[in-house]
Structure 1
Amino acid sequence: MTLPQSAICAETGDFAVFLTLTLVPGAERTVRAILAGFPDMVEAVAAEFAEPRLVGSVAIGAEAWPRLMGPKRPAGLVPFAPLADGDRFAPATPADLFVHIHSPRHDANFALARRLMARLGSGATVAEEIHGFKHKGGRDLTGFVDGTENPKGEDRPEVALVGDEDADFRGGSHVSIQRWVHGLTQWEGLPVPQQEGIIGRTKETDEELDDSVKPPSAHIARVVIEEDGEELEILRHSLPYGTTSDSGLYFVAYGRDPATFRKMLDAMVVADADGNYDRLMDFSRPVTGAAFFAPSKDLLRQA
């Protein structure tokens, strides 16, 4: 059995560390060996902190893949493509590696991140480091429950992990990340019914609005996409992050097919024939965007 990296299908922890890194030319062999040992590093820190729910994954971008893993690459692994329509823009930002660590304990996450970065040394530089946290039991900073439709239980690996359709990369997962900055002052100035129309759910009880009153520009109306009668799914590990001056949502999507996320993002950013786009983008904007592939533990360990 091909085992996925531990962060992918686990339930999202209360705290997370998200690292995007760039490779230093000439350090590829050293970095490759360190990545091969990352699953064992996760297990060692989990044992040290007596925290079995500490999990981690590392993913590799399209441009770094041949430098670290060889010429054969996962189907669909391409650089993140920016999107723009009007004043809505989803940028692409430089990143070769993505490290995702989460657990119920910030101290354990921090220790694992420090250990990895100490091992990498001058082989990779940090493009961005974000520390996420669970807010009010799973709500975004907008006050709405986040990830209501996320797959659960046995559905999680079915949605997230590559299968026989790309057999050489079975047990891996395509990863898309974006950091969204919320305009919370503007958002919090809206009446709750108006917020609910923008999201498409009730704020207090998290019930989906009836189609008769849910605007076609509502967030969930844009990102819920059906093909051949089936709803397309991604496995999200998004968490709020921030300081008193800058805050939002760190969005992480795992999937067996990267096209699913791209279709959702396109529906958010690009207006349809009737001029409808995701109205949430009037109050929140992505400032980063990158795509990666998280190989299975077995493939990763083949240094």
Structure 2
Amino acid sequence: MAREQLGICTEANLHSDYLLFNAVEGSESILRYKLARLPQVIDRLAGHFSEALLTSVVAVGSNYWATLYPDAMPLGLAPFPDTQAEDIDLAPVPIDIFIQLRSDRRDVNFIACQQVKQLLGGYAELQEHIQGFRYLDGRSLTGFIDMPANPRGKAKRDAALINHTHQPVFAAGSYLYLQCVNLLLNTWQLLSLTEQEDIMGMDKVSGQPVAADRQLADSHFALLQSATGVSQNILLQHMPFTRGSVHGEMQLTYSADPDVLLQQLLRRFGLMADNASYDQLLNYSTIEFSAAFFVPSISFLELAVKRVSSQLPFE
């Protein structure tokens, strides 16, 4: 049975680090080996600092996958959509390798980041390092409970991880959309409580949806849901960050089905045929960058080293 990367369906942590790399040209063979080793390195640290609950995610950019693993392509893996809704720029960028580290100890995250950088040093160039943190009781910087409709328990795995019967080679893998979103916090804080709740479609204290007669068709909550229950087929994993005067959120959306990711994105940006408008929360944020990835299982990472080096086909 394929072994998934534990950072996909992990419970919430206090701290996170997001490392974005571009590969050095011609380093594919050594990077395959190093990416297969990386979960082992993190697992060893997690065992040493067991109370920290350290996990990792290793993801390969849609633009780089065919270069790194030319003999096996996940169905439907595609670049992040390069489109605009109204005046909202999705800012898609090509990122070769994405590493996420999460734990309940800042110092353990620091050690893990250092080891990742040393492991990939000389073969992948670090483009960005963003640190996230848990805010209050799991809220975004808007003050609202973040991701209240997220699937729980076994439903998380069903939503995020590919079933063996659908894609045997990529079982326990996941498709990932990553967005770095900057919140216009000063503008948001000028709104009244009622205005904020109307935009979010949720009660600010409880996180429950507002009454049906008050729920706007273009509220954040309404556009995260759908008549077909698409929201139950995605797993959100967001965390706030701050850098000087810039405050925002790293938004990670996982799914076992790339079409679900695309539908959810288009619905939020008002690009579906049945949309009334785009998500009104977008009026209070700017997107710094977006990227699409595939998160292979640990089993695939290990198998790829053996298969590619011996020129054997994937089964």
Check whether TM > 0.5.
yes
Contact 1:59 1:99 in 2 (8 A): yes
The 1-side partners of 2:92 and 2:129 are apart by 17
The one-letter amino acid paired with 2:185 is L
Runs of 4+ residues over 3 Å off in structure 1: 229-232, 271-275
Shift of 1:129: 1.3
Equivalent positions of 1:35-46 (< 5 A) are 35-46=35-46
The 1-side partners of 2:40 and 2:275 are apart by 52
SS of residue paired to 2:260: helix
SS of residue paired to 2:7: helix
In the alignment, is residue 202 of structure 1 matched against residue 203 of structure 2?
A: yes
Contact 2:20 2:126 in 1 (8 A): yes
SS of residue paired to 1:299: helix
Contact 2:159 2:232 in 1 (8 A): no
SS of residue paired to 1:109: helix
Equivalent positions of 1:145-156 (< 5 A) are 145-156=145-156
Shift of 1:273: 6.6
Shift of 1:28: 1.2
- 1:281 alignment partner in structure 2: 282
The 1-side partners of 2:230 and 2:223 are apart by 15
In the alignment, is residue 144 of structure 1 matched against residue 149 of structure 2?
A: no
Query: TM-score, normalising length from structure 1?
Result: 0.95
Contact 2:23 2:124 in 1 (8 A): yes
The 2-side partners of 1:64 and 1:138 are apart by 33
The 1-side partners of 2:276 and 2:69 are apart by 43
- 2:193 alignment partner in structure 1: 192
Contact 1:83 1:269 in 2 (8 A): no
Higher mean Cα deviation, 102-111 or 176-185? 102-111
- 2:64 alignment partner in structure 1: 64
Higher mean Cα deviation, 218-227 or 167-176? 218-227
The 2-side partners of 1:207 and 1:292 are apart by 31
SS of residue paired to 2:18: strand
SS of residue paired to 2:8: helix
Count of aligned pairs: 302
SS of residue paired to 2:177: strand
- 2:294 alignment partner in structure 1: 293
Structure 2 portions without partners, runs of 5+ = 306-315
SS of residue paired to 2:167: helix
SS of residue paired to 1:5: coil
Structure 1 portions without partners, runs of 5+ = none
- 2:313 alignment partner in structure 1: none
User: Structure 1 pair 150/85, CA: closer, same or farther in 2 (3 Å)?
Assistant: same
Contact 2:151 2:232 in 1 (8 A): no
Shift of 1:64: 1.5
SS of residue paired to 2:122: helix
- 1:162 alignment partner in structure 2: 162
The one-letter amino acid paired with 2:193 is V
Shift of 1:261: 2.0
- 1:121 alignment partner in structure 2: 121
Shift of 1:172: 0.6
Shift of 1:75: 0.6
SS of residue paired to 1:203: coil
- 1:96 alignment partner in structure 2: 96
Q: Deviations over 1:100-135 (max 9, x none)?
A: 111111211221121011111121112221111000
Contact 1:90 1:269 in 2 (8 A): no
Q: Deviations over 1:185-228 (max 9, x none)?
A: 0000000100000000011122211121111110111121232x
The 2-side partners of 1:81 and 1:253 are apart by 14
Contact 2:61 2:94 in 1 (8 A): no
Alignment identity in percent? 30
The 1-side partners of 2:89 and 2:212 are apart by 28
User: Structure 1 pair 100/281, CA: closer, same or farther in 2 (3 Å)?
Assistant: same
The 1-side partners of 2:124 and 2:291 are apart by 17
The 1-side partners of 2:76 and 2:12 are apart by 26
Shift of 1:52: 6.0
Shift of 1:151: 1.0
User: Structure 1 pair 105/52, CA: closer, same or farther in 2 (3 Å)?
Assistant: closer
- 1:216 alignment partner in structure 2: 217
- 1:174 alignment partner in structure 2: 175
Contact 1:17 1:130 in 2 (8 A): yes
The one-letter amino acid paired with 1:255 is S
Query: TM-score, normalising length from structure 2?
Result: 0.91
The 1-side partners of 2:22 and 2:59 are apart by 12
- 2:312 alignment partner in structure 1: none
